[in-house]
Structure 1
């Protein structure tokens, strides 16, 4: 009998960030396992539809129009009735996120119909993230505790996320399962650089992701200034916070060698692949990062990865020689980047080790086996 799994998330709009990308990646796992997977989400067209367009490849998608409330607590009577219809039809529910109406209502509906559910917080229960809207999160703690206490397990993507996770006293069972990343061979570098309009003979440092305060982009600009030689290029590919984007462009234009910093805006999947194939070093110097889908994509592409010591995935990569981890200060980050750029042999070794690690740990089949085992354990305990 085919297992029926319902995924619920507040949004799969492009501006929702890594959560929407993670849901899409997990859809591929569900398809690989031949589960009958459904996705229910509140549909806000203004958040962008690139990710949404591909979701029907893996899910039966139910789009619910938003109610009158704005922000993360948007919801409606239609969402309530949709969940009341869908939840009893499924063997398992996967709730993505914590601090929104969709997650709370989905957990409550699953408990009402005695359907087991997993909560995938995607880093939202990390102490760093809890500082955002801290007052509201503390005041509404009973709601979050209710959702987490009723879950069969809280799924984290890294060990450090599981260790630091704040569950508001729910006593949640925690398990670690990384997100899958397709492991196709990277494109030839020269072809990719021509496609991106980048110089074929320079060294290219790439940032790929949301333009956001926590991503450490001012630190990356400072580190690049210290590490770069004439002809080197820093590519900043992404969109998000328009104010920060303008500030970064202004800062880069005022620095020596301003023409060596290129801002590309949002990169679609084809351009992301080209940029990764073109890069010598992928750099993410975040103030806080649980997993980092772009980090995983860079590993698969065989690019040497440089991350800050607050990118949790670095805990698993550094012992394997699969990434370089640096403290978050300009001098240390500049030295780490300069060392990588200046040593071709080491850079290739880090890139090769990163790809080997990703192909072993993030492959759809490997992640799918671990997910299948988790689901089996949950359903066995639930029926006991």
Structure 2
């Protein structure tokens, strides 16, 4: 079985979807699927220094890279137009049994769906949260026009929409699409456990060995709800804690965060790390006491899963798709997206450490049993086989 994953970018600056597609393809290949990625050399405001128009091994994944159009206008640049990709897809798409399209409202995914339709190659689409109510309310007019003229037909001609949570499926069901959908969560790449992570992190931060550490690790964007989390922490200055903001965003938004930290009186106990990955990321997750993500909307929340897998309880708001799992199995706290509610939940965590430890222990066992990439990939293979058989019948 030959499977082609198409995504506008695989660089970490584009967030979770770019990381997910890499792990997904690795897991599929471990399940004897001939899976590859076609993408552009997008790297945010820059370009990746990679060979173009040839299959290369990139971070242990076979990838075809194509040149991204790079004008000075950011909106046009981020659309990731690529004539090279268009020509290659037209010439080669029929060599694949099925396409897995990642994201929408971007040239690479849109043109891949259009060509697959013309060439009668089956495809499924994973929107990575871009069909959520919150996402569609951003740049509303532009997205409505794009959806009506182009993307709705592309979605309706797909064999299925791949969603990662029941919450996402409920929101997509309200859009009036005629295509079926299925829910299959992202998997988890088992992290390497770090001995004495709590001690090492506090040593790194130069804080007391028993200092409670609260971690926010995500892209810095208004969607992530820091404008709720920071004021909530500001109401708890009578408690000891250190707050970590791990991530990067626009200079303008980072300045807003800085200002909020100062005005709420917690700047002196906050550490900015910028974007982190690898062993550093593992250390910060494993060494923290609480992982907090107060997003308006999150179709999955991979970092939440990573925290739970190493026994760190989480605080998530209802817009985070994993919130229902956290609440049902008592793996953390699920306050409303409200400053007082978030503050109360964090205070509960700070004042009941044994309860928090029990949450972490439950999380570690459950997540590692149910959310591994090998299990997810095996289910994905079954779905591919069913769709290919049905398409060819």
Q: TM-score scaled to structure 1, two decimals? A: 0.93
Gaps of 5+ in 2: none
Aligned pair partner of 1:127 in 133, 136, 144: 133
Q: Where does residue 350 of structure 1 map in the other structure?
A: 359
Partners in 2 of 1:183 and 1:261 — Cα distance?
A: 29
| Matched residue, 1:172 | 179
Structure 1 stretches of at least 4 aligned residues deviating more than 6 Å after TM superposition: 52-55
- The answer to whether residue 304 in structure 2 is matched with residue 295 in structure 1 is yes
Q: Relative to structure 1, is the Cα distance of residues 257 and 101 closer, same or farther in structure 2, using a 3 angstrom cutoff?
A: closer
| Aligned counterpart for 1:107 among listed residues 77, 92, 113 | 113
Shift, 1:46, TM fit = 4.4
Q: Which moved more, 1:365-374 or 1:295-304?
A: 365-374
| Aligned residue number for residue 4 of structure 1 | 2
Shift of 1:306: 0.5
Q: Does the C-alpha gap of structure 1 residues 33 and 126 become closer, same or farther in structure 2, counting only changes over 3 Å?
A: same
8 Å Cα contact 2:191-2:282 kept in structure 1: no
C-alpha distance in 2 between matches for 1:167 and 1:73: 26
CA contact (8 A) 2:70 2:77 kept: no
| CA shift for structure 1 position 195 | 4.4
Matched with 2:189 is 182
Q: Give 1:232-247 correspondences, 5 Å limit.
A: 232-247=241-256
The 8 Å contact of residues 9 and 41 in structure 1, kept in 2 or not, is answered as yes
Aligned match of 1:59: 61
Provide closer, same or farther for how the CA distance between residues 56 and 131 of structure 1 changes in structure 2, counting only shifts above 3 A: same
Measure the CA separation in 2 of the matches of 1:286 and 1:152.
30
Separation (CA, whole Å) in 2 of partners of 1:332 and 1:117: 43
C-alpha separation between the residues in 2 aligned to 1:239 and 1:228? Answer: 25
2:214 aligned with 1:205, yes or no?
yes
CA contact (8 A) 1:186 1:302 kept: no
8 Å CA contact 1:322–1:357 kept in 2: the answer is no
Cα distance, 1:266–1:335 mapped onto 2, change above 3 Å: same
Q: Secondary structure at the match of 2:248?
A: coil
Shift in Å, 1:274: 0.6
Instruction: Give yes or no for contact 1:196–1:271 (8 Å, CA) kept in 2.
Output: no
Number of residue-to-residue matches in the alignment: 382
Quick one: distance in 2 between partners of 1:167 and 1:58?
39
CA deviation string 1:312-332 (max 9, x = no partner): 211122111123111111111
- Structure 1 residue 120 displacement after superposition: 0.5
Distance 2:45 2:305 in 1: 24
Shift of 1:77: 2.7
RMSD (Å), alpha carbons: 2.3
For the 8 Å contact 2:202–2:208, the answer to whether it is kept is yes
CA distance in 2, matches of 1:257, 1:61: 44
Distance in 2, matches of 1:225 and 1:46, equals: 33
CA displacement 1:263-304 (0-9 Å, x = unmatched): 111112221101011100000111111111111111112101
Residue in 2 aligned with 1:89?
95
